[in-house]
Structure 1
Amino acid sequence: MAEPLPDADDTVLARVAWGRIAEPCDLQAGALVAHLGHRGALGWLRSTRAEPPPGLWPAPVWERARARWAPRVEGLDPAREVAGIRRLGGRVIVPGDEEWPAALDDLDVLAPHCLWVRGDPGILRRPAVAIVGARASTGYGEHVAGELSASLADSGLTVVSGGAFGIDAVAHRAALAVGGATVAVMAGGLDRFYPAGNADLLARVARDGAVVAELGPGSSPSRSRFLTRNRLIAALAGACVVVEAGWRSGTLSTAMHAARLLRPVAAVPGPVTSAASAGCHRLIRDGVAVLVSDAGQVRELMASAGEDLADEPSDDAVRRPSDTPPGLDSSHAQVWEALPARGAATLESVARVGGLAAREVRIALGALELAGHVRREGDRYRRTAT
């Protein structure tokens, strides 16, 4: 037998209950809890004699809303759901918790009632960029997405995406490959990662980053839930980058959510003959997105919008070969030039930028460190003053 609905003094369980009762982006539910609070809204729903909240909508609107929510009240057990996510090593966070991402407050009455998290919820408060795109991605799109994600993650930004096949998966993998932070936002519950083909990847994201959802365990993803999920991706990030998208791609909804939230939107151009880039070209043509071709341009876009970014640049354009110390042989000079002019980089990042094998880079970095040209800081390397 299900436990009773949350008592009036249990706000967390009341929020969990509303996350189950109402679908994401239910405007009446958002307005009701904004007016009465989550506990008060539950009291209103349980009362058969409660008057409609004044000044919002006429009575028939609330009658339809009550009829929509009532079937989900029977058997509701928010405490059981919280216990379920804990068994998975996750937790629920709500506004007021230290880890709650304040950026979600920009969604106003369409903000999630709570967030379910597997991984480190503290990541959700760090500067982030959304990298999204087509599931049916091309080799070109995957290459660009990987380069952008790795460079942005290596510079300290969290990469947010949707965990899907194609561009999303590439963005997550590239961020993980350079030891960066990444967040996957799910359209269903966290008891079963979707798509199943990305389960191993999402488990890595949960281990080294965070997988989040606004729906509780047992919730299945659906087309409408994917579309409403996209507003969370847009809100969590300081900017949204679309790498590939068809003319009617669902990815475009993430870009439009970001634009409505006044987040900078960027799109990567592709061949004019490529259907996979038609949506990107549409965003640029309609003035929704600006054209970007590298990570440095993304960071510039975020900085121009007032995002507080780390000092370390990620664009290769800031690397200054003219500063190379004299007397280095060609391989050591190549590694030196692959290091950022400011900030530190991992061995993997240096190898990727320099186009060298990891073994060559490791030997060269050791020699440069002995010569006093490079300083090691944990698993990262930094130029010393020349």
Structure 2
Amino acid sequence: MISTIDFEIPELRNLKKPIKKLFYKGNIKLLKKPKISIVGTRRALNYTQFATHQLASKLSFAGNCIVSGGAIGVDAISHKAAGTNNTILVSPCGLNHRYPAINKKLIEEIEQQGLILSSFDEDFKSTRYSFVLRNEIVVALGDILIVTQADLNSGSLRSVEYALKMGKEIFVLPHRINESQGTTLLAKNGLAKVIYDIDEFVEQYAKTPLKEEKEDSFLEYCKKNPAYEEAIIKYDSLVYEYELTGKIKIKNGFITLP
């Protein structure tokens, strides 16, 4: 069901032009949580995919809601790693469309468990301008902006421009020479800070006690005998840690307790 937000969202005061209407599907309470925006290329390197997943997953467990734009690549990885019940997707089209089609299943899961926002009427089809406004809203909603990979001509650098105008801190990942030259240039020019240690970075933005909460919730989760792939998405490296220490067992693609 598509509804209209009938209250002010303070973060959106930073937009260049006020939004007349904001439509949504899902859990509107996520707007009240601390939020971190993660964006980047559609063609993410293996390293970027891994690091993005680590960041989104751990920041989500630390009590932050992850905001992104629903595109393939970094956006989709961020939404999945955060858990579809703790992510906000800002759409470039009306909510009767699920764009891009390749992410249809992910978008449907976020509709049911997380939150999808759009500033366009329900049947509106995306245009060049609608992507621009989508990106601006993604940046505005987050307390900070993380760009995990972007080339010199990447659209993600437009998001950086918005963040700079809004006075938001920008963070990037370290990359090898000639990779992600856009984010490397941001760091070189002092416009972004580099994340060298993911756990240390996450600790700065932790809204809940990390280790105890993760351990307790994970063991409770395992009592339901979840699918291994689902557990990896939700709990990442904690699955491997518990398997190695004998706290859980994996059999026929499912997790059980000893």
The equivalent position to 1:258 in structure 2, one of 157, 163, 166, is 163
The superposition leaves residues 245-289 of structure 1 with CA deviations (integer Å, 9 ceiling, x where unpaired) of 111100111122122111111011211132xx1111011112221
For 2:237, the equivalent position in structure 1 comes to: 352
Q: Which residue in 1 is equivalent to 2:201?
A: 297
Q: Does 1:284 align with 2:187?
A: yes
SS of the aligned residue for 2:247 comes to helix
1:115 matches 2:22: yes
* Alignment of 1:209 onto 2:130: no
* Counterpart Cα distance in 2 of 1:212 and 1:350: 26
Greater gyration radius: 1
- 1:137-191 deviation per Cα after TM superposition (whole angstroms, max 9, x unaligned): 1111111110111111111110000000001001111111xx7500110111110
Other-structure match for 2:13? 105
User: Which amino acid is the alignment partner of residue 288 of structure 1?
Assistant: L
The CA deviation string for residues 200-220 of structure 1, in whole angstroms up to 9 with x for no partner, is 101111111101111111111
* Number of aligned residues: 235
What is the deviation of 1:129? 0.5
Which residue of 345, 349, 362 maps to 2:248?
A: 362
Q: Does 1:151 align with 2:58?
A: yes
Give the equivalent residue in structure 2 for 1:130: 37
Indicate the SS of the match to 2:146: strand
1:312 to 201, 205, 209: 209
Deviations 1:38-61 (A, max 9, x none): xxxxxxxxxxxxxxxxxxxxxxxx
How has the CA–CA distance of structure 1 residues 253 and 299 changed in structure 2, closer, same or farther, with 3 Å as cutoff? farther
Residue 67 of structure 2 contacts residue 87 of structure 2 at CA under 8 Å; is this kept in 1?
Answer: yes
Q: Give 1:297's aligned amino acid.
A: F
Greater RCO, CA 8 A, separation 6+: 2
SS of the residue 1:361 aligns to: coil
Q: How does 1:212-251 map to 2 (within 5 A)?
A: 212-251=117-156
The answer as to whether partners of 2:54 and 2:236 remain within 8 angstroms in 1 is no
What's the offset of the Cα at 1:112?
A: 1.4
> How much is the aligned-residue C-alpha RMSD, in angstroms?
2.3
Q: Distance in 2 between matches of 1:299 and 1:187?
A: 32
Task: Give the CA deviation at 1:355.
Answer: 2.6
- Please state how far the C-alpha of 1:295 moved relative to its aligned partner: 4.7
Identity %: 23
**Other-structure match for 2:78:** 171
Kept in 2: contact 1:149–1:174 (CA 8 A) = yes
Deviation sequence 1:352-382 (CA, Å, 0-9, x none): 236346594337x978xxxxxxxxxxxxxxx
Aligned AA (2:183): C
Residue 297 of structure 1, CA deviation: 1.3
The aligned counterpart of 2:2 is 90
Contact 2:57 2:235 in 1 (8 A): no
Deviation per residue, 1:214-242 (Å, 9 max, x gap): 11111111222212211100111101100
Of 159, 164, 178 in structure 2, the residue corresponding to residue 273 of structure 1 is 178
1:243 positional shift = 0.4
| Structure (1 or 2) with the greater helix fraction | 1
Please name the residue that 1:190 is paired with.
Answer: 95
**CA contact under 8 A between 1:188 and 1:221: conserved in structure 2?**
yes
The answer as to whether partners of 1:155 and 1:312 remain within 8 angstroms in 2 is yes
Task: Describe the shift of the 1:215–1:350 C-alpha distance in structure 2 as closer, same or farther (beyond 3 A).
Answer: closer
Q: What is the TM-score with the length of structure 2 in the denominator?
A: 0.83
**Given that residues 162 and 168 in structure 1 are in contact (C-alpha distance below 8 angstroms), is that contact kept between their aligned partners in structure 2?**
yes
Residues 154 and 180, structure 1, Cα contact 8 Å, conserved in 2: no
- Note if contact 2:25-2:115 (Cα within 8 Å) is conserved in structure 1: yes
